[in-house]
A and B are shown apart, each in its own frame.
Chain A
Amino acid sequence: MSTSPDLAHAPAPSSRSASAALPDIIAGWFRQRHWSPHRHQLEVLDATRNQQNVLLIAPTGAGKTLAGFLPSLTELVDSPDLGTELHRLHTLYISPLKALAVDIQRNLERPIAEMRVPIRVETRTGDTPNDRRRRQMKRPPHMLMTTPESLALMLSTAEGRKLFRHLKMVVLDELHALADNKRGELLALNLAHLRTVAPQARVIGLSATVAYPDLLTAYLSKTPQQTPAKDVAVVRGRAGAQAELSILHASNRVPWAGHMALHSMPDVYEAIKKAGMTILFVNTRAQAELCFQELWRANDDGLPIALHHGSLDINQRRKVEAAMAAGKLKAVVATSSLDLGLDWGDVDLVMQIGAPKGVSRLLQRIGRANHRLDEASQAVLVPANRFEYLECQAAMNGVAANNLDGEEPREGGLDILAQHILGRSCGEAFLPDELYREVITAAPYANLSRQDFEATLQFVTNGGYSLRAYERYHRLTVDDEGRFKVASRKIAASYRMNVGTIVEATTYKVRINRGRVLGSIEEYFVQGLTPGDTFIFGGELLAFMELKENTVMVTRAKGRDKAPKVPAYVGGRMPLSTYLATQVRELLSNEQHWRQFPEPVQEWLKSQKSRSVLPPKDGLLVETFERQNRHYLIGYVFEGRNAHQTLGMLLTRRMERAGYKPMGFAASDYVIAVWSVDPPTDIPMLFDQDMLGDDLEAWMAESSLLRRTFARIAVITGLVEKNIPGGRQRSDKSTNINTDLIYDVLRQHEPDHILLRATRADAARGMTDIRRLADMLTRVQGRIIHKVLDRVSPLAVPVMLEAGKELVYGEASDAMLESAAEALIAEAMDT
């Protein structure tokens, strides 16, 4: 049964006789296979029979997918329509991954064929050809597998809405991966729309174990304001056996800094050799490439070790997955590209290379190993540096205590709402009253004020500017009854081209020897390449030849004259979760815990204790010292890299005002380091709570972070278009220039415009982790320990070695031009 492991599982004791609950055809199918349904599968069925929505929380391997489809199969095999010419869509399945939708379709077709029932299952994604889309509208399948974006598109046409009129069931897969982000917001709005069209439909959400199940029940409910939601039944699958976790004790010394963990690769290789099949999860695509190289360097036995990440060509990825399923691989180095989706075979060891960053994420990854529920999954954590050692230990404790971390519920973004309103106007005219009542049934928008709704509607209609310049050029028109409708076909076409929430960086295809496409790399990396440069991609050493249109032409490179580059990717690194940060502080402050660490780590902590002090559990340790004519300030903040980046900006701003003449800063997941010309003395002043007031406002307004966020929001809301009907994708460059200029004009003339509000909200909640900073500042007031040292402390060494140091301030670009000018002058003087 290895081809459809998630659908059909080993015999399980059932709580009651399956045949009583199931139609004969399905009961017979189970009997033939000597299986019986799991308890939770029947519970899901019961709930849907009671017209309830269902949240099923179960670990991977618990037969979640079958649980999700059993109600539909049960209703369909008994349906009098079946086999007649009456074609009605019964079930809509929505997955965050296109590929998963396709896989699930295949896996469903098998039991359907075995039951010999004429149930038709089809997929509809961005890849579905136009003629099949038209046929699906005319002659709908019984079950349709799709993605949130395709659903939005279908709902934006009158015939699409017609398709869903008779819908009975909606299945949302991998709900935990959707509910707390922008795609989830878009899906929630479309789900609300779907319920207006098909009020009879029940919704089943399938989720891994999560930190905030209430968030997911609200998400599935028609009345998300109520807690707990009365219309959602929560079913829990049987928990699997506790995973067996350990930390790899590398025979090489644990390095002080770095995130690649290459020092451990010889030991990792030995572990791979001993195991059956191993997945090595890494944190970034660059790390995947480097680890893969390093493993192959050690691979004297010629073990089949493969590479899997999101930038590799889809065909290449499918090949690797197929090889895994067929048991032909010994190991796969993978990024989060293997976090979601089907099982690809009998994995019996998961190795997490580099710190896990969060307990939930680690559990999800561990779940990839050994999908037999009753056997413990084996997982090994491989820390890349000393701090990561502490983090790995914290994560292990978290897994043992089942302390999940995760995003708390968040308010839906007005940018997504704007996109949805435009989409809504493309399908059918709407009354604002009705649409508002519908929108607030979507959980992320349950608390949306009527005022914000109106402001967003205004924005979609005429830009929403106080200056009434666009009274004559509306995107939406209003009829005599007050119904809003899209003003032209052109605007509707443009909406359909640009639907979605993922504004990806422009990428270039990588083509080898004018033949095969290996995958794609991001524009900014391409910009830094000159012909002859070598770089590692897809596990190969490549030499850049030339750029043709949107394709990077490469050949295989030989030898290693100079160090090859490794493409890095925007947003590749996740910050340390709050839970792990707290745990790391606890581990540091309590010497009892140290005994479990390897000798070098223990020594490191002991010498910190004797030379300075250890960071306290609740307060904040700040060290200052002088080194090579610079004065360093080290703050042991432990709030994650993103929060530290923001803190670095704010601290340097404040130090500038205090006359300390700050020069730059570096941020790691654990620590912030700032250096200045003069010694910072008034530490409590620097870390005062009011930092998040005016300074933050001023910094945010200037920051490139806000500009980037605005650029994304401008695309999502359709203010600027990434895809022009009939045209090709605009390059990042022109989108950037335009939105920067727009941002400046808007900020100057209408600082409270809805787009700027959405930008600030987005930046504050997602990327800058402002709330973590605020909580930290509140926690440490009056508890700041300032140690003045005569030299660098042991705990400060890692951040001093961190790469990626930031120059102070927005005038960085002038500074860079100056350094270019200086370098050029120096060059000129030399010759």
Chain B
Amino acid sequence: MPTQRLIFADQEVIIDLTGIVVWPGTKTAIVADLHFEKATSMAVRHGTMLPPFDTRATLDKLGRALAQYQIERVIALGDSFHDQHGPARLGETEIEMIERLTNRYGFLWITGNHDPCLPDDLPGDCLAEYQERGIVFRHEADPGSQDAAEFSGHFHPKARIRTPQKPISAPCFAFDDRRLMLPSFGVLTGGLNVLNAAVRPLFNEDFRVSMLGQRRLFAFSNQQLEPDRAARVG
């Protein structure tokens, strides 16, 4: 199954193999950690010359993911740009691609630690946090919050599972009855195991994951997962 339906804060949401969440009741799609201009950021900061096509590849993937659904609005959960100067480094093609998307959908840019403030000329709204119908949208899950429901990104969750052949690790959605954490969407982003001490305590004991396979999602309970090797026995 390329999608999975969940009831979350009494709302029906769809998690999608591409890594987005769709909230049909409000015609909204949610995406996390786009990390536009990561390659150029690395070039500026580290002198490495990764292929500078990541922004267009991510935008292309986003466009296709959104086009599958009847939606009118997109909420990006922060770290949409890999660094604050990212918007200034966008090429013409990338600017056009962003404009095409922002013309078609209303955009709400939640700020993240990589992009704490976004330029004024970026089409759409910009907020540090947003709430609607009891669901809070923020970049990083707030461990102290008592919100009934929360959507977040930030950690780039991945899960690792032992199979009869070999362990397989893949990006995943992670959720319990209050929190839903999205995988990172940017094409050049890595991930963090959900059993890592930074992520695990955010969820209750029954949390589940949905791993992004090649053709479908794979649902597992957290008891079925493996930590990364160092964490497992350390």
Contacts and interface: CB of A to CB of B under 8 A. Distances in A.
Contacts of A818: 218
A721 B40 CA distance: 16
Given A745-B53, A745-B187, A819 B48 contact: no
A819 B153 CA distance: 29
Contacts of B220: 821, 824
B65 to A, nearest CB: 16
A745 B54 contact: yes
Interface stretch (A58-66, A349-357, A467-475): A467-475
Contacts, number: 129
Interface string B33-77: 000000110011001111111101100000000000000000000
B53 A748 contact: yes
A546 interface: yes
B50 A737 contact: no
Interface in B159-191: 161-168, 170, 187-191
B1 to A, nearest CB: 12
B119 interface: no
B53 A749 contact: yes
Interface residues of A, number: 54
Contacts of A824: 220, 224
Interface string A449-469: 000000000010011010101
B211 interface: yes
Given A745-B187, A820-B161, A467 B234 contact: no
A741 B211 CA distance: 17
Given A737-B190, A738-B190, A817 B51 contact: no
A817 B229 contact: no
B163 A817 contact: yes
B213 interface: yes
B93 to A, nearest CB: 8
16 contacts: A465-B51, A488-B47, A490-B47, A491-B47, A523-B229, A531-B233, A734-B190, A745-B188, A749-B53, A749-B56, A813-B170, A814-B215, A817-B163, A819-B165, A821-B220, A823-B164
B38 to A, nearest CB: 10
Contacts of A744: 57, 187
Contacts of B47: 473, 475, 487-488, 490-491, 494
Given A548-B234, A814-B216, A820 B49 contact: no
Contacts of A718: 48
B214 A811 contact: yes
B188 A741 contact: yes
Contacts of B188: 738, 741-742, 745
Interface string B118-156: 000000000000000000000000000000000000000
A73 to B, nearest CB: 46
A749 B39 CA distance: 14
Contacts of B162: 820
A531 B54 CA distance: 41
Contacts of A766: none
Contact of A719 (B50, B228, B232): B50
A734 B216 CA distance: 24
B92 to A, nearest CB: 11
A473 B49 contact: yes
Given A463-B51, A526-B229, A547-B234, 15 more contacts: A463-B43, A465-B49, A465-B53, A469-B89, A469-B91, A470-B43, A470-B52, A490-B47, A530-B233, A718-B48, A745-B54, A749-B57, A819-B164, A820-B163, A820-B164
B234 A469 contact: no
Nearest to A463: B49
A789 interface: no
Interface of B: 39-40, 43-44, 47-54, 56-57, 89, 91, 161-168, 170, 187-191, 211, 213-216, 218, 220, 224, 228-230, 232-234
Given A473-B43, A547-B234, A823-B164, A817 B218 contact: yes
A373 interface: no
Interface in A458-510: 459, 462-463, 465, 467, 469-470, 473, 475, 487-488, 490-491, 494
Nearest to B37: A469
Contacts of A459: 49
Nearest to A824: B224
A718 to B, nearest CB: 8
Contacts of A817: 161, 163, 168, 211, 213, 218
A611 to B, nearest CB: 34
Interface of A: 459, 462-463, 465, 467, 469-470, 473, 475, 487-488, 490-491, 494, 523, 526-528, 530-531, 546-548, 718-721, 733-734, 737-738, 741-742, 744-746, 748-750, 753, 807, 810-814, 816-821, 823-824
A737 B169 CA distance: 10
A807 B163 CA distance: 14
B51 A547 contact: no
B168 A469 contact: no
Contacts of A820: 161-164, 168
A525 to B, nearest CB: 11
A753 B20 CA distance: 31
A737 B164 CA distance: 22
A703 to B, nearest CB: 14
Nearest to A552: B233
Q: Classify the interface of chain A: helix, strand, loop or mixed.
A: helix
A746 B53 contact: yes
B230 to A, nearest CB: 6
B53 A719 contact: no
Nearest to A459: B49
A510 to B, nearest CB: 14
A467 B229 contact: no
B48 A813 contact: no
A750 B229 contact: no
Contacts of A467: 52-53, 91
Contacts of A749: 51, 53, 56-57
Given A470-B43, A548-B234, A742 B166 contact: no
Given A738-B190, A824-B224, A719 B216 contact: no
B52 A469 contact: yes
Contacts of A750: 51, 53
Given A531-B233, A547-B230, A750-B51, A469 B165 contact: no
Contacts of B165: 807, 812, 816, 819
Nearest to A737: B190
A555 to B, nearest CB: 14
A816 B163 contact: yes
Given A473-B43, A546-B234, A810 B53 contact: no
A546 B213 contact: no
A487 B220 CA distance: 49
Contacts of B161: 817, 820
A181 to B, nearest CB: 27
Select the residue from B40, B165, B187, B191 with max chain A CB neighbours within 10 A. Answer: B165
Contacts of B214: 810-811, 813-814
B51 A813 contact: no
Given A469-B40, A748-B57, A821 B218 contact: yes
Contacts of A491: 47
A680 B205 CA distance: 51
7 tightest A-B CB contacts, nearest first:
A463-B49, A469-B52, A749-B53, A820-B163, A816-B163, A473-B43, A746-B51
A721 to B, nearest CB: 7
Contacts of A488: 47
A550 to B, nearest CB: 9
Nearest to B219: A821
Contacts of B213: 813-814, 817
Select the residue from B218, B228, B233 with max chain A CB neighbours within 10 A. Answer: B233
Contacts of B229: 523, 526-527, 547
A426 to B, nearest CB: 13
Contacts of A734: 190
B51 A753 contact: yes
B185 to A, nearest CB: 12
Contacts of A753: 51
